[in-house]
Each structure stands twice: as C-alpha cells, then as structure tokens.
Amino acid sequence: MKQAKLGAKGKLKETAVGFVLGAVGGCILGATEDPLDKIVSVMTTSSSLKPVVEEARTVGALGLGTLMGATALTTAMTSVIAGVILAAVITSVFAATGRCTGSHKHSVGLWASAGFAGAFGTTLSGVMLGSAIEWIVKKYSMVGLLWALSLFTILKPPMRFLFRILWKQGEVCCTLGSDARSLERENLEISDWQQRQRVTLQIEKRILSLEKGSSTSGMEDRTRWVTEQKEREQIERKRLKNEEAEMKQKTLHDWINTVMMKHVDFLAFSGVPMTIITMVTSGFGLFGYGNHQSVLIVLLALVSLMGYFLLQSSDFNFWMLLGCMGMFATFVIAMLTLHAGQVVVTTAMKLRVAGHNQSRETISAHMNYQSSLEAVKTAFFGAKLCQLGLGATVGGTLVRHSTGKVRVIAGAASVAGGLLVGMDVLSPVLGEGGAAGALLGVVGAAGVSVGATAAAAGRWSSWQGTLGTTVGLIIGALGMGKWHTVNIGLQLPVAYVFAMTKPF
C-alpha cells in the first residue's frame, strides 16, 4: 500500500515537472510569433517590396519563388551552423584546458558558455547575412542576389576543406590540456613510487631491528602504517579522478569532432540542390521564358531527379536529408508563388465575365505584386521552420547525450528570451534585413529549447510525464503565440520530427 502511494506520488511529480518544462519550451516558441509577424509586415510594405516586384517580371514567378526560397533557407542553415561551430569551439577549449571535470560547477559553466556562444553566433550571423541580402537586393536587384547565392554555393566546398585544416591545427594548439593531464599523471606515478620506496625501507629497517634483537614501540609502528595507508589511498583516489577526467575529456572531444564534421559537411553541400534549381528556373526567366510552361516541367524533372539520386545514395548522410528537405521546400515556395499570380488571372477572368474589364498591364502588375508578396512571406516562413527544425535537432541531441533536460530547456529559453528583449532595442539600428536575420537566429535558439522539450517528453519513466510535457508545450506555445493555431500547429510537428532525428 505504501509503495503504491509512493508510485502515485512519483508519477504526479513527473507530470507536474513535465508540464512546467513543456510550458517553458512552448512559451519561448510562442513569444517569437509577434516579433516575426511585425518584421514580415515591414518587409511586405510597398516600399520594401518594390525591388522584388520589379524583378518578378524578369525571372518569372517560378524563378522568383525558387530564388527567394533558396536564399532564405540558405541563410537559415548557414546561421545555425555558424552558431553550432562557435559553440563547438568553446566546448573544445573547455575540454582541451581540462575544465570538463565531473564538478557540477564546471559542467554548468561549460554548457552555459557553449549555449550562449551558439545562440550569439546564430543571431550575429543572421544579422550579417540578412543585412548583406538587403544590400545586394537594393544595389544589384534580384539578379545580383542570384549571382551572390551561386557564388556562395560554389565557395562552400573549398571553405569546408580549409575549415577542416584549421580545425586540425586548432586541435594541435589545444594540446596543452592533455599535456597538463600527462604531467599530473607522471607526478602521481612519482609519488606512488616514492611512497612504495618508503614502505620498502621501513620494512627493511624493521627486519634489521628484529634480527639485532631490538624492538620498537608497537604504537609507533601502527601510527606509521596508518599514515602510509592514508597516503596510499589518497594517491589512488587522485589517480582514479585523473583517469576519469581524461576519459570524460576524450569522450567529449570525440563527440565535438563528430558534431563539427557532420555540420560542416551539411553547410558545404546541403544548399547545392536548392541553388541548382534556382539557377535553372531563374535562367529561363532571364532568357524570356519566365512564364513558359516548360519552366514548370524542367523544375519538376530536376526536383524528382535530384531527390531520387540523393535518397538512393548508399551512404545517406544528414546533409543529404536536409538537402532534400530544402529542395522540396523551395519547390513548394515556387508553387505557392506561381499560384498567387494565377489567382490574380482567375479573378480578372471572373471580373471580365461580370463586365469589369481590366487592362493587360494592370493584370500583369497585380500578378507580379501578389507573386512577390507570396514569395517573401512563404520564404520567410520556410526559413523560420528551417531554423526551428535545426535548433530542435541540436536540443534533442543534447538531451539524448545526457546533458540534462532541465539545463538545456531552461538555458536555451533564457538565452532566446534575452535575445528577444535585446532585439526591441537594436531593431532600429539593424534595418529590415538585419532584424529579420536576427529574429531567425532567436527562433533557432528557441528551437533548441523546444527540441529538448520534445526529446525529454519521451524520456520519462511513466506516460503521465510524457503527457504532461506535451500538454505544457502545446498550451505554452498557443498561449504565448496569441493562439495562432495554424502557425503553431505547423511548427510543433516540425520541431518534434527534427528533435527525434539523429544527425550522427
């Protein structure tokens, strides 16, 4: 009876703790909705949308959709990877300097520093990329953006090779921590040898004294032996502690290397499929075939062909999965952009039947405007889902790596909340592009918290804990998100799927 009561109390506690953790992750996700809506409203005003509308007739609806989609998704992916790389560098420095011991204080400092560095790196790179895109569009139009995207995609594989070399050099330079461990191990071995020598000498002296017939105080011998035993135990404890720290350091270092190499490969290759379809569809537009049906046929063929070869790869990698997802997302954005223009044509035909004729120029201008509006909105929403999903992948991985679900959920939510507060102050300075990129970085940090929450939901010992975490996540996201059911309803499944993904 007593055990049943204790079991019920434990399940109730898991439910309550799970609900609180879920609410924390959900609330920070919902808190990003209003700032994102505001920046989208600013980006879709007539003055901000003018450069996009002017180029819509040049590259066509499909070209515009693929260009906006590929640019937004590439920006999101790049900023997240920048944050992951910076966090990995900070963690590697901790590991190399030997500060990744089992101490709770050092452990909290390690993950807090890595988490802050990751969120800061993601947000800062988002600001830089967003500002760069805004400058390119205003100065060189959408065609300049196409060339910039293509050049960036071409340069990423060589940058990957260079980064690998720099990372290896950094590992060589950071061997000071290992040297310190080796020196400590040598000192322990010397102390152990000296202690053994002292014991040997004492035994020899005792034997000689017995042979000579002299005797010593038993109390003195016992005191001496107790002292030597304590010293021996102390040396053994230090040795075990040193070996445990070395093993933990090596495990963490190997894990960091795996994370780094996988994410660098992801950065280098995942954007290639998106850029290829963008270059092809935009090229048709530049040669005057932007609105021709052949563009749609070529787009379908390209997406199907590249998707088939990537999925059929015998060595299927994380970057291939994300590359396929990004390519299909770009395809969807292009279809929605095309559909927005077709809706204008359909409406004009209905008005013509009703006796309200419109000129061809008016219809064309309205088509370009609606296509541009849809391209910007859907591309930004796609980038938001990409940031959220990649952040959730990081959060889920950290929880499965036994980093501590409370630490990850609360820490990521705190950092994201702090960045949101800072955005209110800095948004006038950053401009539209910089503010949009920064907010996407905040979504990535919030995604870490949401992903950790989703991963933690399945790690409770009872289904009540899982249910409480899930309910808290949904209620927190909807409540703080002002009950944007459709947006939140799309984001939560994406975050859950990515949180369950094992990238390595």
Per-residue pLDDT of 180-216, as tens digits, reads 555 666 666 666 666 666 666 666 666 666 666 555 5
pLDDT tens-digit series, residues 127-186: 899 889 888 888 888 788 888 999 998 988 888 888 888 777 766 665 544 555 556 666
pLDDT at res. 24: 92
Q: What stretch of H or E contains 149?
A: helix 104-173
Based on the fold, state whether residues 239 and 311 are members of the same structural domain.
no
Residues 168 and 210 in one domain: no
Q: Has residue 300 got a pLDDT over 60?
A: yes
The answer on 284 and 184 residing in a single domain is no
Residue 26 scores a pLDDT above 70: yes
User: Do 207 and 100 reside in the same domain of the chain?
Assistant: no
End position of a domain, from candidates 245, 261, 295: 245
Domain match, 319 and 240 both: no
> Which residue type, as a one-letter code, is found at position 487?
N
Among 245, 265, 300, which residue terminates a domain? 245
Q: Domain of residue 38: give its range.
A: 14-179+253-500
Q: Are 472 and 449 in contact, with CB atoms under 8 Å apart?
A: no
Q: How confident is the model at residue 6 (pLDDT cuts 50, 70, 90)?
A: very low
Same-domain pairing of 303 and 330:
yes
For residue 341, being part of any structural domain is answered with yes
What mean pLDDT comes out for the span 9-32?
87
Q: Are residues 89 and 224 in the same domain?
A: no
Helix residue ranges, H only, 174-217:
176-211
Residue pointed to by tokens 């035993």: 229
pTM listed for this prediction: 0.82
First to last CA, the chain: 46
SS3 content of the chain, % helix, strand, coil (to 5): 90, 0, 10
Percentage, residues of the chain above pLDDT 70: 80
Evaluate whether residue 2 is within a structural domain.
no
Q: What is the pLDDT of residues 463-502, one digit of tens each?
A: 888 898 999 999 999 999 888 888 888 899 999 989 888 7
Token readout for 362 is 């008016």
47-88 pLDDT per residue, tens? 778 888 877 777 888 888 889 999 999 999 888 888 888 888
In a domain, 284, yes or no: yes
pLDDT of 460 strictly over 70: yes
Whether residue 221 sits in one domain with residue 138 = no
Find, among 394, 490, 476, 446, the residue nearest to 21 by Cα.
476
Residues 305 and 442 in one domain: yes
- For the segment 355-400, what is each residue's pLDDT rounded down to a tens digit? 777 777 787 888 888 888 998 999 999 999 999 999 998 888 888 8
Confidence at 44, pLDDT banded by 50, 70, 90: confident
> How many domains is the chain built from?
2
Whether residue 193 sits in one domain with residue 47: no
- Are 372 and 408 contained in the same domain? yes
On whether residue 3 sits in a domain, the answer given is: no
Domain boundary among 196, 217, 245: 245
Please give the mean pLDDT across all residues of the chain: 80
Contacts of 333 (CB under 8 A, 6+ apart): 65, 66, 68, 69, 375, 378, 379, 382
Is residue 7 included in any domain, yes or no? no
> What integer pLDDT is reported at residue 1 of this predicted model?
46
Whether residue 5 lies inside any domain: the answer is: no
385 belongs to a structural domain: yes
Statement to judge: residues 294 and 394 lie in one domain: yes
pLDDT given for residue 171 in this prediction: 64
* pLDDT(441) > 50: yes
Whether 109 has a pLDDT exceeding 80, the answer reads no
Q: How confident is the model at residue 102 (pLDDT cuts 50, 70, 90)?
A: very low
pLDDT at 450 over 90: yes
CB-based contacts of 231, cutoff 8 Å, min separation 6: 195
Residue 468 covered by a domain: yes
Residues 6 or more apart whose CB falls under 8 angstroms from that of 277 comprise 66, 70, 299, 302, 303, 306, 327, 330, 331
Give residue 492's pLDDT. 92
